[in-house]
Amino acid sequence: MTLLWHVAVVVHVAGLSLGSWLSKLKAKVCAFSVCDDPDYFYDYVQGLLDGLQAGVNSRDIVNIQNAKGLGYAMNTAEELKFVKEVADATGVILDPVYSGKAAYGMMKNMAESPTKWEGRKILFIHTGGLLGLFDKAEQLAPLVGNWHQMDIHESIPRKDGVGKMF
């Protein structure tokens, strides 16, 4: 099995990769970086592994690929269309900043290198990130039709008093 993970929180990638390496599973985690370049994440994961005295090289237990696209929190029309299509087809909502970019990168890589993925069992770990949708409301609106960002007023009562959520 090949495990997939997106590099939103690099500590998760390090922990998942090390856990797999230490277990009987021995699956190499395939991560898709959505902000910095893969070398940055290899070095960061290596620092965490060295701090744990794991005795393993990050490049031996994780394959990190670039899925940054235009840059952190910047999306192409294709990426946004992909997020919408996944939601339509599965009911799973991917945010366009982290999980959406990682899933898009994974699917693009599968299409470009099908033999690399052939016969593998794939697990994509979606950790959330829905707050990334708020900044994309205007860009997503033409794709989803009658949809808009909810306006939350400061006057909405909260358990601990009055205030905004975000």
Summarize pLDDT for 110-149 with one digit per residue, the tens: 999 999 888 888 888 877 666 666 666 677 777 766 665 5
Cα-Cα-Cα-Cα dihedral sign, residues 39, 44, 45, 50: positive
Q: Say if residues 116 and 2 touch (Cβ distance below 8 Å).
A: no
Mean pLDDT for all residues in the chain: 80
What letter does residue 131 receive in the DSSP assignment?
A: G
Mean pLDDT (whole number) for 92-110: 89
- The structural domains of the chain, with segments of one domain joined by +, span 2-147
| pTM (2 d.p.) | 0.73
Contact present, 61 and 21 (Cβ < 8 Å): yes
Question: According to CATH, what is the number of the domain 2-147?
Answer: 3.40.50.1100
- Confidence category of residue 26, pLDDT binned at 50, 70, 90: confident
Asked whether 105 and 83 are in contact (CB, 8 A), the reply is no
